[in-house]
Amino acid sequence: MSEHAVAAPAFRVERWTWVSVAFTGGLTGLVALLALGPVLLSENSQNNLIQLYFLVTLAVMWNALAGYGGLVSVGQQGFIGIGAYGAVFFSLQHSLNPYLSMLIATLIGGVVAIPVALVVLWLRSGAFAIATWVIAESFAILVSLDPNPAIGGGTGTSAILPFNLRYTPEQRLHYTYWAALGTVAVLLVLLFALLRSRVGGSLQAIRDDEDAAASVGVRVLLGKGILFVIAGAGCAAAGAIILAWQLSILPLGPDSIFGINWTAKMIFMVLVGGIGTFEGPIIGAIALYVLQTYGPNGGVWYFVLLGGIAIGFALLLPRGIWGTIQERFDVRLLPVGYRLRQIGGAR
């Protein structure tokens, strides 16, 4: 027998590295600073930032589904529409405060996600994608057929009235800004807490290898269900913000509130930023925002560029900007996940 006694290297499990502590602290500080936006920034900047906030919301939600749950949904726009129309409905029909309506609409989004999940979660990825798209289309058609004048049917509706009755345009801008920032912050914290919890661990296991996860008892469907409901509520929240921001909405057409273009944007943001990472979608949203603000102004070339960049990333940088950085430099800014540190060893 060999005489060597091989000493097993000792390892220490770390969650918070100094980098992640610094970054999390910095991020919290940034949010606090941004909250002062209405005081410090111009109207134009606030307007733009609202856009950035709801883009981040959408990107983070889509990434939660696809990156952590392996669920490629082509129908999240259904929930965006629910959020927007829900907000209009409660503020117009029931004369509730528009921001309260937005909150209710968000909750409705989460609630509607439950029966939808029961229908689609059992499907394999191809059928799942198509089914989510069909459901979103169905919502859009139902809304367009609704005779209720508050909904406005095929010609759409607007929230101008409920807002203008209570707030000046400046107030609407400020409150919407805070609502948007708050939404992003709450969802990020929620997701962060989820990923660090036991459910989160099982979600990452599902992402890495679903069959293996199931074989060690991970409740795969439950994890996916939770993600789906959160994404439903999150996209509805984004839809409500979008309504408060642009005021008028239409139900049908690729550019509508129920339009497939929202999914195009979500896919772009998540792909470019880095699918399955926590920081990735934020970066992707910033990238899209930059493209929107400084790139060709809407229309054909904007979308050609959008699609082309998405394809390029899918082929050349499939892990996205952040995913590639993370892999290359082994950086983790936010403490989701674990690092194995060898005691007494390098690294």
Partner 1 sequence: MTWVSAIVHGILLGGVYALLASGLALMFGVMRIINLAHGSLALVGAYMSFLITEHLGISPYLSLAIVLPGALIVGYALQRTVLERSLRAGPLVPLLTTFGLLIVIANLLQYFFSPDVHSLDEGSIGLKAISVSNELAIPWFDVLTFGVAVVVLVGLQLVLRYTQVGRELRATAEDADTAELVGINARAVYARATAVAVATAALAGVFYGMRSGFDPNAGASELLYAFEAVVIGGMGSLWGTLVGGVVLGVAQLVGAQINNEYFALSGHLVFLVVLVARTALGVRGVGFRIRFVRRSVA
Partner 2 sequence: MKPLLSVDELDVRHGLLQAVRQVSFEVGEGETLALVGANGAGKTTLLRAIAGAHRPAGGRIRFDGRDITTLAAHRRVRRGIALVPEGRRLFPGLTVEENLRVAAGAGRDGAWDLERVLEVFPLLAPLRRTRAASLSGGEQQATAIGRALMTNPRLLLLDEVSLGLAPVVVERVYESIAGLLEGGVAILLVEQDLARAMRVADRVVCMLEGRIVLEGSRGELTREQVTDAYFGLGRAEATA
Q: Could you tell me the smallest distance in angstroms from the CB atom of residue 327 to partner 2?
A: 15
Q: Which is nearer to partner 2, 21 or 212 (CB)?
A: 212
| Cβ atoms of 307 and 260 closer than 8 Å | no
Does residue number 285 form part of the binding site for partner 1 (CB under 8 A)?
no
| 10 binds, options partner 1, partner 2, none, Cβ within 5 to 8 A by partner type | none
Instruction: Tell me the C-alpha distance between 303 and 47, whole Å.
Output: 22
Does residue number 347 form part of the binding site for partner 2 (CB under 8 A)?
no
User: Which residues is 136 bridged to in the sheet?
Assistant: none
Q: What is the largest CA-CA distance in the chain?
A: 88
| Residue window 3-42: x/- pattern of binding to partner 2, with contact defined by CB under 8 A | xx--------------------------------------
Does residue number 308 form part of the binding site for partner 1 (CB under 8 A)?
yes
Instruction: Tell me the C-alpha distance between 169 and 39, whole Å.
Output: 15
| Residue window 120-139: x/- pattern of binding to partner 1, with contact defined by CB under 8 A | x-xxxxxx-xxx-xxx-xx-
Q: Which residues contact 120 (CB under 8 A, 6 or more apart)?
A: 128, 131, 132, 135
User: Which residues is 16 bridged to in the sheet?
Assistant: none
| 2 binds, options partner 2, partner 1, none, Cβ within 5 to 8 A by partner type | partner 2
Q: Which is nearer to partner 2, 3 or 126 (CB)?
A: 3
Does residue number 115 form part of the binding site for partner 1 (CB under 8 A)?
no
Does residue number 297 form part of the binding site for partner 2 (CB under 8 A)?
no
Does residue number 215 form part of the binding site for partner 2 (CB under 8 A)?
no
Does residue number 2 form part of the binding site for partner 2 (CB under 8 A)?
yes
Residue of 27, 96, 205, 264 interacting with partner 1 (CB under 8 A) = 264
Residues found near partner 1 in the complex (CB under 8 A):
66, 70, 72, 74, 119-120, 122-127, 129-131, 133-135, 137-138, 141-142, 145, 254, 260, 263-264, 267, 271, 275, 300-301, 303-304, 306-308, 310-311, 314-315, 318
